[in-house]
Homo-oligomer: A and B are copies of this chain.
Amino acid sequence: MPKTKSSAKKAVLFNRIAFIGIGHIGSSMALAIRCAGLAGSIIACDRSATARKTALKLKVVDEVTADIAKAVKNADLVVIATPVGTNGAIAKAMAPYLKPGAIVTDVGSVKQEVIAAVAPHIPKGVTFVPGHPLAGTEHSGPESGFAELFDGRWAVLTPLPRTPAKALAQVTALWKRIGAKVDTMKPDHHDMVLAITSHLPHLCAFTVVGTATDLAGDLKQEVIKYSASGFRDFTRVAASDPVMWRDIFLSNREAVLNILQRFTEDLAGMQKHIRRGDGEALEKIFTRTRAIRRSIIEAKQA
Q: How many copies does the complex hold?
A: 2
A134–B222 alpha-carbon span in the complex (Å): 13
Q: Is the CB of A302 closer than 8 A to any CB of chain B?
A: yes
Proximity string of chain A (270-300) to chain B, C-beta cutoff 8 Å, 1 when within and 0 when not: 1101110101001101111111111110010
Report if A209 contacts B (CB, 8 A): yes
Residues of B within 8 A of A250 (CB): 274, 277, 279, 282
Query: A266 touching B296 by the CB < 8 A rule?
Result: no
Interface core residue of A204, A222, A233 (most chain B CB under 10 Å): A204
Judged by a CB distance under 8 angstroms, whether A7 is at the interface is no
Q: Shortest Cβ distance from A175 into chain B, in angstroms?
A: 14
Is A229 engaged at the interface, CB distance under 8 Å to the other chain?
A: yes
Q: Are B289 and A227 in contact (CB under 8 A)?
A: no
Q: Contact residue range for chain A? A: 35 or more
- In the bound complex, do residue B242 and residue A290 qualify as a contact, i.e. CB atoms below 8 Å apart? yes
Residues of B within 8 A of A102 (CB): none
In the assembled complex, the Cα of A290 lies from the Cα of B202 at a distance in Å of 12
A-side interface mostly: helix
Chain A, range 193-212, C-beta contacts under 8 Å to B: 193-194, 196-212
User: Do A301 and B224 touch (CB < 8 A)?
Assistant: yes
Residues of A at the B interface (CB closer than 8 Å) are 85, 134-138, 154, 156, 183, 189, 192-194, 196-215, 219, 222-240, 242-243, 245-247, 249-250, 253, 256-257, 259-260, 262-264, 266-267, 270-271, 273-275, 277, 279, 282-283, 285-296, 299, 301-302
The 4 closest A-B pairs by CB, nearest first: A201-B230, A239-B293, A242-B286, A238-B289
